[in-house]
Amino acid sequence: MAEAPEIAGVRLNELLVAAGLPALDARQSQRFEAYLSLLLRWNARVNLTAIRERDGILSRHFVESIACAQQLPTGIVTLLDFGSGAGFPGIPISLCRPEIQVTLAESQGKKAAFLQEAVRVLGLAAKVHAGRAETAATRFDCVVLRAVDRMELAVQVASGLVRPGGWLALMTTGGELATLQSAADRDYSWSGPTPLPGSENRLLAIAARENTPA
């Protein structure tokens, strides 16, 4: 029998506190519960994520994405989740940082349809770009990438989608970080990286782009 959604919210807050992160408030917790419920239903018929168990999704996807949301710099108005997939980390960023206008870019039709439904069900102000991220035809204050196919090439493209003075954020492993940093444009200054909860080898690296026209 599936556990009641509110129990999932309690478990998520337990995981966040154990990771040294602030717990969600009641409203945020309810919306993450609704997100989890929707994800589990869709994942039964559409391959959104290889992790299908509740605790795995909470600890691997939710906690890591919430940590990213909390560590992003202040002052971000627009953000692109490059290759959003099942919405990580873009939907948690939208839930935790409602001041950020999030665009979820996803080229696979079924995943983009899930994102549209998630935005509707959760009442998010986020937008879904159902196509390749580079066709968004705009630049963003921040572009974030996590578990994207052909990640090195994706970073090359994503680094050109950040406005001058904006940020590029990579959620990756320690073994891949140097290669991905080298793939970005040269006008980035990297800070960190900082560890992400849930795995000993997962990192968040954020780079600021020079505030000069590219």
Q: β-strands 202-209, 188-195: how paired?
A: antiparallel
pLDDT of amino acid 192: 78
Is residue 118 assigned to a domain? Answer: yes
193: cis peptide before it, omega within 30°? yes
CATH number at residue 80: 3.40.50.150
Structural element, H or E, at residue 158: helix 151-159
Number of neighbours of residue 143 by Cβ within 10 angstroms: 30
Question: 3-state class of 12 per DSSP?
Answer: helix
Whether cis (ω within 30° of 0) applies to the bond prior to 89 is yes
Query: What range defines the domain where residue 53 resides?
Result: 5-209
Q: Cα angle at 189 between 93 and 184, to 5 degrees?
A: 75
The pLDDT assigned to 1 comes to 37
Helix axes 109-122, 26-43, angle to 10 degrees: 150
Within 10 Å of residue 112's Cβ, how many Cβ atoms? Answer: 19
pLDDT given at position 5: 52
Asked whether residue 18 is assigned to any structural domain, the reply reads: yes
In this predicted structure, what is the pLDDT of residue 191?
87
Q: Which two tokens stand for residue 75?
A: 């002052």
Q: How far is CA 93 from the centre of its chain?
A: 6
Mean pLDDT by 10 residues, the chain (214 residues): 66 95 95 95 88 86 96 97 96 97 96 97 96 91 93 95 97 94 94 84 94 68
190 within 8 A of 164, measured Cβ to Cβ: no
Six-digit token pair at 58? 């909470």
Asked if the structure places residue 214 within a domain, the reply is no
What distance in Å separates the CA atoms of residue 209 and residue 42, rounded to the nearest whole number?
37
Residue 22 lies in a domain: yes
Nearest to 162 by CA among 106, 103, 116: 103
Pair of tokens at residue 203: 């990192």
Counting the structural domains of the chain, the total is 1
Return the pLDDT at 213: 62
